[in-house]
Structure 1
Amino acid sequence: MTHTKDDGYVGKVRFTLEGHKSAYEITLHSKKGNEWSYSLNFAAESGIEKEIEAAEERIEEDDELFDALVEAAKSKL
């Protein structure tokens, strides 16, 4: 994760989900470090579209997972 006055906080985390064939990379962004937006991509090559859609849904619904991803990124600041 990096922090600049102009861009705020920007970090990336690679992770896997049980039962998914591909790994993911989430890019997190926050101007002040309290409200986060994100972009989810496959970590390497393209994978199964239904799996990334399921991963996105899980991130949206599972606050503990999302918070863990944010904390993982922040730990590298």
Structure 2
Amino acid sequence: MNIRILAATMKHDESNGYLGHVRFEAEGHKQPYELTLQSDKRIDDWNYALNFLDESGSEQQIEAVEKALEEDDDIFDSLVDAALASLDDAK
């Protein structure tokens, strides 16, 4: 699955850990997505939630993206890296 990152942000504070958002498009999908990332202290253990960015789209398409995030470490890591890069840019 090919993705194109539209925007990424990440914030960090000692009490809440890391919280990031990555907005992206998946090739051939009508609606863009937003991935919310959260990690307490470590940047190698992420909780995430996948949602449509602006309006609802195809259930089959979001399920395909979810499957890709779970099975393809390169896709997930590229989204995490984009969010982390925005944290570095903010320093």
1:4 shift after superposition: 1.0
- 1:30-41 counterparts in 2 under 5 A? 30-31=39-40, 32-41=42-51
Q: Is the 8 A contact 1:21 1:47 kept in 2?
A: yes
Report the CA distance between 1:75 and its aligned residue.
Answer: 0.7
SS in 2 for 1:75: helix
Structure 1 partner of 2:38: 29
Structure 2 gaps of 5+ residues are 1-9
Superposed CA RMSD: 0.7
TM-score of the two chains, using structure 1 as the length reference: 0.95
C-alpha separation between the residues in 1 aligned to 2:55 and 2:44?
31
The one-letter code sitting in structure 1 at the alignment partner of 2:19 is V
What TM-score, normalized to structure 2?
0.81
Q: Name the aligned partner's letter for residue 14 of structure 2.
A: K
| Paired letter, 2:76 | F
Identity %: 53
Where structure 1 has 5 or more consecutive residues not aligned to the other structure, the ranges are: none
- CA deviations over 1:30-72 (Å, ceiling 9, x no partner): 1121211100000101111111011100110010000000000
> Runs of 4+ in structure 1 displaced over 3 angstroms?
none
Structure with greater proportional strand content: 2
Q: Which amino acid aligns with 2:55?
A: E
